[in-house]
Amino acid sequence: MKFPAFLPLLAGALLVASPQAATAAVASAAIVAAPTTAAISRIDPTFWWVGMKNPKLQLLVHGAGIGSSTVTLSYPGVTLDGTQKLENPDYLIVNLTIAPDAKPGKLNLEFQGAKKVKYSYELRQRTTPGDKTKVQGVTSADFVYLLMPDRFANGDPKNDVVKGTRVSRIARDSMYARHGGDLKGVEQHFDYLKELGVTAIWPTPVVENDMPKASYHGYALTDYYAVDRRYGSNEDYVRFVQRAHQSGLKVIHDVVLNHMGSKNYLFLEQPAADWFHQWPSFTRSNFRDAAFNDPYASDADRKLYGEGWFDTTMPDLNQSNPLVATYVIQNFIWWVEYTGLDGYRIDTYPYSDRNFLMQWGEAVLNEFPQLGMFGETWVQGNGQQAFFARNILPPVNGFKSNLPGVTDFQSYYAINEALTKDAGWTDGIAKLYYALQGDWMYEDPMRNVVFLDNHDLSRFYSVVGEDFAKYKMGLAWLLTTRGIPQLYYGTEVLMKNFSNPDGLVREDFPGGWPGDKKNYFTAAGRTGQAGEAFTYVSKLANYRKTHPALHSGKLTQFIPQDGIYTYFRHSDAGTVMVLMNSNKDEKAVELSRFAERLNGFSSGTEVTSGATLSDLKLARIPGRTAWVVELKK
């Protein structure tokens, strides 16, 4: 059986990450006397499993002076392949092979330095392959709800402030402070999500983010193996996933490959200098993704894009170091096996090392072929976006993506233009047509995630000028086009604001805290257009859930004419016609143009209003309206 090449395969040898690290390690050994070995502070991964497809395991051991230790073990089916010293004498790499017939239990590791230290390392029995309630994957049949746990609902006020963390207060009147939302708060509103028609929850990162400023968003992680205690414990997260599954909801885990928080112990006590991209002074990425695959790119631009830091508090990982690559890859295998989560959303996907991205994708999908995965690809152009997903394009600079899907920014740009600009030959609503026309480059565009807004973008209702008719058009498109639809929390109740500064689009969900003046979690609290918006989304999302033509059927689109975009979703189970009129005024549409998809049908029912379309020859569609019509024979 072929195993991914990223894991260390040499046994009994002193492996060195790079010539520079080797020189530094020798120098350190010459000038630093090994201190007395104290108790081991931690080992990552914190535990592992027998029965994994890849038998190799790399342990990163941390403890005072541990690097000078020799290691022994005796456990049936587990082989010590060797150890590796690092530049920092307080770290040691231990490489193991776990045979297929190894049994779960406690693996006793002995570290012999100035003193002998024993560590009982747990090997558990793997459960995900046989348990169909775990790792269910994410498909186009799902409707994803993106939320920020800190801003959604506070279910357990006792964990609002946790002793020992760098932020000792909550302040709901500050856009960058902690507000107190947690996993329990999300769980308490599972019924709300199910009523809305949601099938999968995507929380922004739940791992520890113990940073002194703006720690609420989760994208500067400080411990790869711990849930942030202000959200709950690791065990709470496991139960959260279990209870979501019991409620018919999947869970998508938001991950960051490219960087970490500067208060992460791995940065505060760096195993070696080459674990991070080092610069003489702080150097920010140029954020120009084109440099990744531009055949004419300068080395300087390409280096700055991939190795520059995202921010002053976000150290950039050197994933070309095989030890770093293995550490990160094992961590994200660990979370899936530990919790049984259903999918990964990968933050800042294109910024990582190209070889690492291929290794990471291969390794994770090798263990969990059914896992849903999509990466954030905030890029320009259909070709550039398709480049980062599984596609039919040739490799560039040795990179060929194995990522199943991406966040579809091209259709996001298109729906915004469709609803804010006049129609033209390629402008306005025509953008929707061309966004999907580029799907020929993907292996399967149905795995792409479509959206109207998210935690980094201006809220959709504000983008369309708080025009309720345009709002409904956007939601109709979201829930009928191809791909996996994603809704940002609060969009269903007309939450609004612009992303400059970004905290304005990350406000608390009304009703998530005791004493809130409004409670949009209840029907009684959703008065006026907020209630109408919720009903519209819920009706269409629940219809989509039960009609395979919309979530897994084929798509046939017609070139927009006179500001009207028409497309069909169709399968053996039925056909749905969508007519989008971007004009201010009513338009008469000759339906004979769509005969190839209308043949055999005599009438239709508009899904959201229940209105009957008795004549499939001519349709008079009001301005700023989208009709979702189930065709009848």
Distance CA 78, CA 86 (A): 23
Distance CA 134, CA 540 (A): 28
Distance CA 84, CA 526 (A): 60
Q: Quickly list DSSP for 38-71.
A: ----EEESS-EEES-SS-EEEEEEE-TTGGG-EE
Identify the active-site residue in 81, 208, 223, 376. 376
Distance CA 122, CA 218 (A): 28
Closest CA to 10 of 53, 44, 49, 56: 56
| 191 burial via Cβ count (<10 Å: 0-12, 13-18, 19+) | exposed
Torsion-angle region of 19 (φ positive above 0: left; ψ -120 to 50: alpha; else: beta): alpha
Distance CA 146, CA 201 (A): 6
Dig out the tokens for 66 from the structure.
């541990």
- Whether the CB-CB separation of 55 and 99 falls below 8 Å is answered with yes
Residues 6+ apart with CB under 8 A from 582: 418, 419, 423, 428, 429, 473, 563, 564, 565, 624
Question: 435: helix, coil or strand?
Answer: helix
Distance CA 214, CA 457 (A): 17
Residues 6+ apart with CB under 8 A from 611: 605
- Whether the CB-CB separation of 159 and 232 falls below 8 Å is answered with yes
Does 208 participate in catalysis according to the annotation? no
Distance CA 261, CA 513 (A): 28
Residues 6+ apart with CB under 8 A from 169: 161, 177, 178
Distance CA 179, CA 215 (A): 11
Closest CA to 16 of 88, 94, 68, 84: 84
Identify the active-site residue in 289, 347, 367, 507. 347
Residues 6+ apart with CB under 8 A from 207: 218, 221, 223, 224, 226, 227, 228
Report CA dihedral (551, 552, 558, 560) to the nearest 10 degrees: 30
Where do the H-state alpha helices sit in 141-203?
Answer: 149-152, 183-187, 190-196
Does 596 participate in catalysis according to the annotation? no
Residues 6+ apart with CB under 8 A from 174: none
Which active-site residues does the annotation give?
347, 376
